[in-house]
Structure 1
């Protein structure tokens, strides 16, 4: 890897309370000392618009951290929003995990050359064009990724959650759309997110893009703006441009009118040294998350697209259910998942969990005719796959972030999220699950012989499936074969 001796450390800016965002938030924050104001972003178009509008509202700084940034409609428009902010004098720091930046080197190198912009790649591949070869010589390092996701404007408002940047995360029509969840937060939580960003930005794994990509590979100046202008003229972009024009979130935020749940809110995050195998196991995010959420007494809701419990985790969930706590797990069905190997790792635990009293639900691959109306906050969309990561405990606290209930999140990747002690938000999660699960998910049960079956409820009718719904015998056989492989630690 290239040396980092010439890299200059930088940190979140002070004095941003004088910005328009800072002045709008200050009166509300003063009325709720020690608490953060939080509101969920459920609709994909609203989530996209909120990010773009935060970029447009920023006056001093934008700190942006993602695992995936696609070279597609929403990815290009959002990258152009960062460029536009920089032309207004806003300092832009963009930190991307390098696992999914293939093909973006020319655009990122050009963006980095813009005044006020710096781009860094986390845990990068030394070989830019033959990345797969890197796994042959450096698998242990490259197998560990930065899964964090945050978008922070002026150190005053931040968006944290499960969404990456790409069309499938914001509801653009395509082969697959992800059902996801973010929260927009103001108050003390933003300071914590900013400090955490600095930890990653200045870590030993964050490399300036200039040390990895030759300057001659950068696309010509103005190319990004031209691509964005072309995309704005396409029919698919119109719903998103309309969302930017009409989204209430940032407009109400800068006017001090955005309804927020003011609650004690804590950031939980992994040490960036985790990708180098240098983090203290007792300080991993999974440990901190469990401490902050506490022991459930009445109810535990787990929403995780990639749900691969360890033996100990499955035992713990079973013990909680046997103690009389209502435990619900919502994950992807085989027909909906985008990673069949993960489903193989999860499927082997279904029978044990259900026997212990855990209620297991699997999101259906819902097609266009069953699309929920925008703004109703339901799970389910055209050809949908669950991607939200959220946990609720006893109707008093909720977690929203990047962490999956799988071995990869626990042991390999870095993760982050917010634990929000808000009965209001926890109640919203509970209500959303109550309303959405019957219409959009299969309930997995055991019959008298101990065999699995799936209940599908549609239009008041109940249909019983004795095989994984919506799948072929070949797909089921492939997953069965994968389940025999000792790969759970990679999932």
Structure 2
């Protein structure tokens, strides 16, 4: 046999072995839906080179051994999540809502705690102004964590407030996602904060692009938005540290967000979530922040709330199960706003079931989405929802970025998580679940503002999509399990 033939057979054997190895790996990978397994087997089988490369880069949810080890060490040093904000307030909840908070507790171990208060911010500018005022009034510590932090008017207002606070002796820690905030991190503004005494951290550093696949997926990001001031005030919602004009994607502006300012024991839970994130990236023990402990006779004046911190290092299916539990709990009304909707089947089924049992179920999306992939995938689910009786509206006043859910005018979920696979499996997210008719009514009124500025999507409209558009939407959605 000629040398060239031998070489050809060797290359074929290597190629086939690699192909078989990755197909078996995709089939054996735990916590994977059958549709995802099928999709990966087809991609690797039909386009081996591209498929294997894609699998190496994106096929597995791998935060990296070092990061997981650091996070585990952080939780070992910090007091247990169940102990840092007072006793469980399950007894203060209506019985039918208790299971919702138990699901939330199963995600990150934070108890439902009583004695909380909250105020909804009027808009993005008002949220930034309120944060700046609170930072300027801080006496002990300021902690901020953002996925996207821009060097625009809003972003620099927060940076300057941190520098002022550090100058007067307040301990300031600021962290930003290394990919989402890469331009600020690599700018003079970041260096100026460090020079002013602000302690800085980069969440999930990207590092060397060639070596990154061996250390964990590059697209696993910290999507959280957390501000904690003096262990007494926290902010939670969808807003990044940026103007509503959002310069990187100005043609979709304004970005329309919802942010809330909280006081009460739930603040310590957000502090704990921040501390674990910080300690996983920075060599600094923040456990002293949680002494003294909260007394067991904490005031019950105020509502019950709970932080839900999810991510690829947390248990599998945390956010999807939370969303499904909330959707199944609605009896009269379920209203959701989300910019990105690429659900798994249980969520799609829960929404259909909600409408079919007589619950007024409404979901509001942006009319123009900054992700054409997500926009196409989202619309592939419209007909199924509409036929079940779900009301769909598309907001026309900018990119509706708010991630909100209200149930029966009594329960709210607010935070950073979208209803898509990225938030389910790849992103670290933070949300607050609460039971309070007053706050929920305020948020429901904000949702109504969005609904009034949105155009109803009818079944006739969706059925009028041309063949090519239907093919495109469904094809993109089909790739959801491997994206």
Instruction: Tell me by how many angstroms 1:42 deviates.
Output: 2.8
Is the 1:300–1:394 Cα contact (8 Å) retained in structure 2? yes
Counterpart in the other structure of 2:265: 188
Q: Which residue of 1 aligns with 2:382?
A: 350
Q: Is 1:423 aligned to 2:437, yes or no? A: yes
1:208 CA displacement = 7.3
Q: How does 1:16-415 map to 2 (within 5 A)?
A: 34-104=114-184, 105-107=186-188, 110-111=191-192, 113-114=194-195, 116-127=197-208, 137=213, 141-168=217-244, 175=251, 176-203=253-280, 206-207=281-282, 262-270=302-310, 274=312, 278-281=313-316, 284-288=318-322, 290-291=324-325, 295-333=329-367, 336-364=368-396, 366=397, 384-415=398-429
Any conservation in 1 of the 2:356–2:389 contact (CA below 8 Å)?
yes
Taking the aligned partners of 2:66 and 2:155, their CA distance within structure 1 comes to 30
Query: Bigger radius of gyration, 1 or 2?
Result: 2
For the residues of structure 2 that align with 1:402 and 1:361, how far apart are their CA atoms?
21
Aligned to 2:458: 445
Q: Tell me how many residue pairs correspond in the alignment.
A: 364
Question: Given the alignment, which residue of 469, 476, 481 partners 2:472?
Answer: 481
1:396-432 deviation per Cα after TM superposition (whole angstroms, max 9, x unaligned): 1111100111111111111111112111122233333
Aligned counterpart, 1:27: none
Shift of residue 45, structure 1, vs aligned partner: 1.7
CA contact (8 A) 1:408 1:489 kept: no
- On the 8 A contact 2:114/2:302 being kept in 1, the answer is no
SS at match of 2:270: helix
* Structure-2 separation of matches of 1:170 and 1:479: 31
Q: The residue matched to 1:99 in structure 2 has which SS? A: coil
Q: Distance in 1 between matches of 2:211 and 2:222?
A: 17
Distance 1:3 1:407 in 2: 24
Give the deviation of 1:490 after TM superposition.
6.4
Structure 1 CA distance for aligned equivalents of residues 70 and 275 of structure 2: 17
Question: 1:430-475: per-residue Cα shift (whole Å, max 9, x none)?
Answer: 333345423x11101113xxx527xxxxxxxxxxxx66xxxxx9xx
- Name the CA shift for 1:286/1:198 in 2 (closer, same or farther; >3 Å): farther
SS at match of 1:267: strand
Q: Counterparts of 1:169 and 1:151 in 2: how far apart (Å)?
A: 21
- Equivalent-residue separation in structure 2 for 1:487 and 1:208 (angstroms): 40
Q: Which has the higher helix share?
A: 2
User: How much has 1:309 moved relative to structure 2?
Assistant: 1.7
Deviations 1:468-490 (A, max 9, x none): xxxxx9xx968963641443246
Task: Work out the CA distance in 2 between the residues paired with 1:478 and 1:88.
Answer: 58
| CA contact 1:293–1:397 (8 Å) conserved in 2 | no
CA contact 2:256–2:399 (8 Å) conserved in 1: yes
- TM-score relative to the length of structure 1: 0.67
* CA deviation after TM superposition for structure 1 residue 101, in Å: 2.6
Aligned residues of 2:70 and 2:279 also touching (Cα < 8 A): no
Partner residue in 2 for 1:233: none
3-state SS, counterpart of residue 207 of structure 2 = coil
With over 3 angstroms needed to count, the CA separation of the structure-2 counterparts of 1:285 and 1:353, relative to structure 1, is closer
Q: Give how far 1:313 is off.
A: 1.5
Shift of 1:320: 1.5
Q: 1:173 to 1:55 in 2, by over 3 A?
A: farther
Stretch moving more, 60-69 or 98-107: 98-107
Is the CA contact 1:341–1:479 (under 8 Å) kept in the aligned structure 2?
no
Over 3 Å counting, the alpha-carbon distance change for 1:162 and 1:151 in structure 2 is: same
- Aligned-residue CA RMSD (Å): 3.5
Pick which of 1-10 and 106-115 moved more.
1-10
